[in-house]
Amino acid sequence: MKKYLLLLVAMLVVTVSFHSCKPDEEIYNPKCRISKIWYRSEVGSPNEIYLYDQKGNLEEIVVDSIYSFKFTYNKDKTVSKIVHVGVNYTETIDFQWTNQLVDKMTYQVDGNVVLDYTFHRIDNKKDKAYGRIDNIEVMYDRDFYEPYFDDITNRSLKQHPLYDRVIGDYEEVAKVFANSQAKDMKMFSVKRFTYDPGKHKKYENVSQYVEEFPIAQTVVTHTYTYDLSSYNPFYGLPFAYASEDGYYLNCKTAEHIETVINGQPSKVENITYSYDGLHYMNNKHYPRQFVTISDENNVPTHTYILYKE
């Protein structure tokens, strides 16, 4: 569960897209590389700069000329590690793979594991979504989150920039568990995915994902619609800086979020996404500008992308 301004930020700070040779492969293989990203205005210094090696592999993302996130790869071009060395902390995201499919993602601060993702996949070969992620178990380190339980508004994990950019949901997670009565139990959630057959019946878009926090008796359901003619520039880099946004082939046009606590509706939010400007690559068009509006405040958020030619 994420704050949805941060969801867009996390989506747009993501590395570059890659399109797998097969729908069940997750190999880094960019087709449309991002060069720079601006938030709110496309003038002035960019908020994100992407640096590549001579082979076209992403080496580093520089954020606001302050933070640097460095990428390393396995021999098969799957992402091995993302590292941020800060003034106060060193943050690391490690990835484990089997047959080029991600099994586990672990976020660490100074070598201590504070967040752990375990991936489970659709294993029925007769299912057209075979090999895609079925659900993800997320384990949270209570000691890391607990300081935020009683003073969420005045505390910030922005001192952990890699966490803030990649995961971006610490306030929502802290609220969920702070409101639960099971404070001595292990903090965890389960994310379950459903796929849309889409234009080519390849199940390349997530039609819905449901995140459940069992000990907090909280369930959050996200339902999506898409523009099948416009392509998501972040598709194909799953959970390596993209989170679930790497699983949408096309660009989202709407998102409906429902939160249920103790079996009772608690909150409904609707978000609309629109796009402007076109960048063509391999006969596909990618947006140059993202506009996001939530009915919670009706204030549009603009984000601009410059692609490498």
pTM summary value: 0.81
CA dihedral (83, 231, 295, 41) positive or negative: positive
| Residue 19 in this model has a pLDDT that exceeds 50 | no
The CB density around residue 186, as the number of other CB atoms within 10 Å, is: 10
What's the length of the chain?
A: 309
Out of 6-20, 165-179, 291-305, pick the least confident.
Answer: 6-20
Checking if the pLDDT of 267 tops 60, the result is yes
By the 8 A CB rule, do 231 and 250 touch?
A: yes
Q: Which domains does the chain have, with CATH numbers?
A: 4-307 (2.40.160.150)
Is 2 a residue whose pLDDT tops 80? no
- What is the Cα–Cα distance from 220 to 7, expressed in whole angstroms? 14
Task: Give residue 163's pLDDT.
Answer: 78
- 29 pLDDT tier (thresholds 50, 70, 90): low
Q: What is the pLDDT of residue 26?
A: 61
Kindly indicate the confidence band of residue 113, based on its pLDDT and cuts at 50, 70 and 90. very high
pLDDT at site 185: 62
The candidate with the shortest Cα–Cα distance to 115, out of 133, 135, 92, is 92
Rounded mean pLDDT, 87-95: 91
Residue 200, Cβ density class (10 Å: 0-12 exposed, 13-18 middle, ≥19 buried): exposed
Q: Are 119 and 247 in contact (CB under 8 A)?
A: no
The whole-angstrom separation of Cα 91 and Cα 82 is 8
Give 161's pLDDT tier (boundaries 50, 70, 90). confident
Work out the average pLDDT over 176-203: 74
